[in-house]
Structure 1
Amino acid sequence: MSTATSPLDVPEGGKPRARGRLQLLLILLVAVGPMILATSMYKFKFWVPEGRSYHGAMIGNGQTRADIGIDAQGERWQLLVSAPAACAEDCQQLVYLARQIQVGLGRDASRASHALASAQPLAADYQALLGREYPQLQRYPLDLQRYGHKVSEPGPQLWIVDPHGNLVLRYDAKVKGKHVLDDLRHLLKLSNIG
């Protein structure tokens, strides 16, 4: 009795089976190779581009507003000014800049808000000015103890915060408004949230 043989069975010399294994290996290499390369690049920091497209200091460790002492909720992107000391001239300039950047977003202005978190009470004249000139400015208390543990830079800071409350970028008081506006526009373009 003779048995029928399939062309996939091992015929003479085992060449189809070897070719099939080679094809399987190539498919796996094409599918898994880029993941292995990307992981290696991240772990061992090779072939990482030196240039960057943002101007502030990136906060990539998952910190939120609550981590730096600001207990607040939001549903939009936020330009947040933090003032660990009295809100003096440089802090007031950042508050003004935050509002101007929001207005500068044009049709995307409704996707962002501006806020001030201060550790000390504001001067009465500045508080009155904020009530008149900045009616949409959100104000929060700043827990100086939590803030001091997470932020080592002195003076007021401007933060871009995503709608989930995650800190994305941080700028010092010397920042140029155009740089922040460019960064925020880029984030809004890439984001479907907020």
Structure 2
Amino acid sequence: MGAAMNPLNMSDTPAAPNRRKGRWQLILILMMVIGPMVLATLMYKWQFWVPDNRSDHGEMIGNGQTRADIGVQADEDRWQLLVTAPAACTADCQQLVYLARQLQIGLGRDASRASHALASAQPVSAEYETKLKAEYPQLQRFPLDLPTFKQNAAAPGDAQLWIVDPHGNLVLRYDARVKGKDLLNDLRHLLKLSNIG
């Protein structure tokens, strides 16, 4: 009689295809997880497939510069609408100071997440000083270190409004031609995306 079949002596052949199938599944899962990160890194590094249109209306800074890099020493743990005046605070500067205050008010329930400030290299006129004390009680005031400001390529010579994050990083910059509605939309978008400040 032929040799009896031993139930413990099973062939290994069915396990090999299962192992191969398991390896392919693992590779596919890893590619789904790691692939998008690699693609995003390459897109950033080589600037391909980057959309031309942006949702912001100011000039994006995004290079790690802080308030100190434009000559402003300030401690603020909220988002800040900072107006810089490297020369006298004339009509454009005053318009941006007014806009910064209106933007903070326009944030509604998020108004406490932001502040508005003026950093000037020169003292403001006596008339404007009186107006600021009467109409801008929450306006923060800082000196602007002109040599530091002039060394910074991102800082033009006229009045500018900067959005500064709660860590003191410069995020966006606007000149006096900006429309308040556009700037408010940018600021709301930043606050919506951010969980800081």
Same fold (TM over 0.5): yes
CA distance in 2, matches of 1:68, 1:5: 79
Radius of gyration: which is bigger?
A: 2
1:114 aligns with 2:116: yes
The corresponding residue for 1:58 is 60
User: Any unmatched runs of 5+ in structure 2?
Assistant: 1-5
Q: What number of residue pairs does the alignment pair up?
A: 191
Normalising to structure 1: TM-score of the pair?
0.90
Find the residue that maps to 2:54 and give its secondary structure. coil
Amino acid across the alignment from 1:25: I
Report matched runs for 1:1-194 at 5 Å: 9=12, 11=13, 14-150=16-152, 151-194=154-197
Give the counterpart letter for 1:173 in structure 2. Answer: A
Identity of aligned residues (%): 67
How far did residue 23 of structure 1 move?
2.5
What is the CA deviation profile of residues 47-103 of structure 1, one whole-angstrom value per residue up to 9, with x for unaligned ones? Answer: 111211111111111111111100000021111100000111111111111111111
- Over 3 Å counting, the alpha-carbon distance change for 1:27 and 1:6 in structure 2 is farther
Q: 2:21, 2:108 → 1: CA distance?
A: 60
Q: CA deviation at 1:179?
A: 0.9
CA-based RMSD: 2.1
Q: CA deviation at 1:5?
A: 6.2
With structure 2 as the length reference, what TM-score do the two structures score?
Answer: 0.88
CA distance in 2, matches of 1:86, 1:5: 94
Query: Which deviates more from structure 2 when the two are superposed, residues 174-183 or residues 28-37?
Result: 28-37
Deviations 1:105-136 (A, max 9, x none): 12221211110000011111111111111111
Aligned-pair distance for 1:17? 3.8
Structure 1 outlier segments of 4+, above 6 Å: none
SS at match of 2:123: coil
